[in-house]
Amino acid sequence: MLSTTSSETADSSASLVAEVAESENAERQGDNTEPQSRRRVVFVAGSGRSGTSTLAGILRELGLYVPQPEVVPDETNPRGFAEPQWLVDFHDELLKRSNVQVSDARPRAWFEAGRPTAREGVRQRATEWLSEQFAEKDELVLKDPRLAWFLGLWRVAAIRAGATPCFATMLRPPTEVVGSKQKYYNGRLSNAHGTAAWVNMMLHTERATRGSDRVFLRYHDLLDDWTTSLVRTGDALEIERVQSASADGMRRVHNFVDPSLRRVRLTWDDVDVPDRLRELADATWVGLSTLAEPDGDSEEAYAGLDELRDAYTRYYEEAEAVANSSLIAARRAAVAPRPTEPTDPAADDAAPNAGRLARLVDRIPHDQRAKIPPSVRRGARRMLSHRED
């Protein structure tokens, strides 16, 4: 059975709740570390292409430390990502271990991503790296689109490092997120997949950050009036370098923020998805946007978002069950041998040579063969084949 069962989905939700409870307990007890009140780490969360780079870049301009080296800017983000390269590599490693995609629509993916982070060795690596960064400054900003999968891990790591963890989640309409990802990152990402992944990530990000100092910001609000958004962020998260920003720092931010960064403006007229998925995405956007309003972060809002998370899980289970035949066919196609195609006489004549070459290659230890770039190996095969002709 390839579909996610109800018990598996329940495990995913239970795992998320347990992870939040564990980190809250660590925060109450200080995880055997006396908190140093000046130490603060701002985790910028949210889906990729939601404005997370803009917010992290603003905080960097005001003096918060982005661990070095940073990911190099490119044409998709010419003003820079404000992402520590170590953090990106670490998250990539954990995602590969978990068999989870950055844009993963499966509710169960949260359970899978949590498996490696339960290991003490992984927690120690995160804590040690984070602790080292405070040698530079006492206020850090960490951002990576993969971060949402590991918020519990980093919350515990911050507490162990004697720092206060706080979270700033960027909100952008799902149609614009999906359109921007397709334009700049992955044109093969379907509208339905991208939209479902956005719903899954954002609803679980909201749940995982409850109980911590947090703020939700709409991307268009940040671009239209960054000063208001910045003051609100500094006050909500008690970021000293924001609250006491100098005139020079504000000028740097003014030069950094570019309203034209919102280059993709799409509506549901431009993004074709199933009606039920559109309803869930719309409701998720409205529910999360409520948290961006004054006094909107409330128990009433939590109840509505919890219902949406349950509704999305049921929807995904139904879709997965209906599509199970397609999943089985895809798996069979991936492992089935390909049909033999007719070959020309020259290829037939080359068969004995290929056998001799294979025996020669087999004498080379596997670990040594793996170090040879594929292009070099292909060239060597061609050369040896010609020599044996």
Band of pLDDT at residue 283, cut at 50, 70 and 90: very high
pLDDT of residue 350: 46
Whether residue 27 is predicted with pLDDT greater than 50 in this model: the reply is: no
How far apart (Å, rounded) are the C-alpha atoms in residues 57 and 80? 8
Nearest-angstrom CA–CA distance, 62 and 248: 9
pLDDT class of 201 with cuts at 50, 70, 90: very high
Domains of the chain (ranges; CATH) run 6-330 (3.40.50), 347-388 (no CATH)
State yes or no: pLDDT of 8 exceeds 80: no
Between residues 11 and 108, the one the model is more confident about: 108
The answer, yes or no, to whether residue 93 has pLDDT greater than 90, is yes
Residue 388's pLDDT is: 40
pTM metric for this prediction: 0.78
pLDDT at 29: 47
Q: Which residues contact 101 (CB under 8 A, 6 or more apart)?
A: 95, 109, 197
User: What is the pLDDT confidence band of residue 387, given thresholds at 50, 70 and 90?
Assistant: very low
pLDDT given for residue 382 in this prediction:
54
pLDDT digits (tens, 9 = 90+) for 291-336: 999 999 999 999 999 999 999 999 999 999 999 898 889 888 888 7
Mean pLDDT of the chain: 84
Tens of pLDDT, residues 241-262: 999 999 999 999 999 998 776 6
pLDDT exceeds cutoff 70 at 63: yes
Q: Is the pLDDT of residue 216 over 70?
A: yes
Report the C-alpha dihedral over residues 254, 78, 60, 256, rounded to 10 degrees.
Answer: 0
Mean pLDDT of 76-97: 94
Q: What share of the chain in percent tops pLDDT 70?
A: 75
Question: In this predicted model, what pLDDT tens digit does every residue of 112-168 receive, in sequence order?
Answer: 999 999 999 999 999 999 999 999 999 999 999 999 999 999 999 999 999 999 999
Q: What is the average per-residue pLDDT within 14-24?
A: 51
How much is the pLDDT for 266?
85
Band (77; pLDDT cuts 50, 70, 90): confident
Closest listed residue to residue 196, CA positions, set 318, 278, 310, 267: 278
User: Average of pLDDT values for 215-228?
Assistant: 95
3-state secondary structure the chain: CCCCCHHHHHHHHHHHHHHHHHHHHHHHHHHHCCCCCCCEEEEEECCCCCCHHHHHHHHHHCCCECCCCECCCECCECCCCCCEHHHHHHHHHHHHHHCCCCCCCCCCHHHHHHHHHCCHHHHHHHHHHHHHHCCCCCEEEEECHHHHHHHHHHHHHHHHCCCEEEEEEEECCHHHHHHHHHHHCCCCCCHHHHHHHHHHHHHHHHHHHCCCEEEEEEHHHHHHCHHHHHHHHHHHHCCHHHHCCCHHHHHHHHHHCCHHHCCCCCCCCCCCCCHHHHHHHHHHHHHHHHHCCCCCCCHHHHHHHHHHHHHHHHHHHHHHHHCHHHHHHHHHHHHCCCCCCCCCHHHHHCHHHHHHHHHHHHCCCHHHHHCCCHHHHHHHHHHHHHHHC
